[in-house]
Amino acid sequence: MRTTVIVTALGLDSHGLLAQVATTIAEQDANVDDVSQTVANGMFTMIMFVSFDETETTMSSLKAALEATGERIGLQISVQHENIFKFMHRI
């Protein structure tokens, strides 16, 4: 079964942030389906739609890996299941 999560990141901008986050996702056998990033006033913000097969990885292992990457590169990274994200942002 395929699972989709929303990955958000926020922090001071520096070179290679998107690449390092995407590398962590790939290392967890997950796929970046869509990404949006903005840099404004030196702040980096990013939203990614990431999917994975539950037989290859879990949401908890993906979340732990991304949080570790975030600590290493200075980003606050959060991971939410797509259904929770949609519920929180409904009109």
Ranges of H-type helices in 1-91: 17-27, 59-73, 82-88
State the pLDDT at residue 20: 97
Per the structure, the count of domains in the chain is 1
Closest CA to 73 of 8, 31, 20, 7: 20
Q: pLDDT tens digits for 56-88?
A: 999 999 999 999 999 999 999 999 987 676 666
State the pLDDT at residue 86: 63
* Domain coverage including residue 19: 2-88
Which whole-number Å values give the CA distances from 45 to 38, 55, 57, 75, 79, in the listed order?
A: 5, 30, 25, 9, 14
Beta bridge partners of 40: 43
Indicate the pTM of the whole model.
0.88
Would you place residue 91 in the very low, low, confident or very high pLDDT band (cuts 50, 70, 90)? Answer: low
Mean pLDDT of the chain: 92
State the pLDDT at residue 87: 62
Would you place residue 1 in the very low, low, confident or very high pLDDT band (cuts 50, 70, 90)? Answer: confident
For residue 27, what is the domain's CATH number? 3.30.70.260
Give the other-Cβ count within 10 Å of 58's Cβ: 13
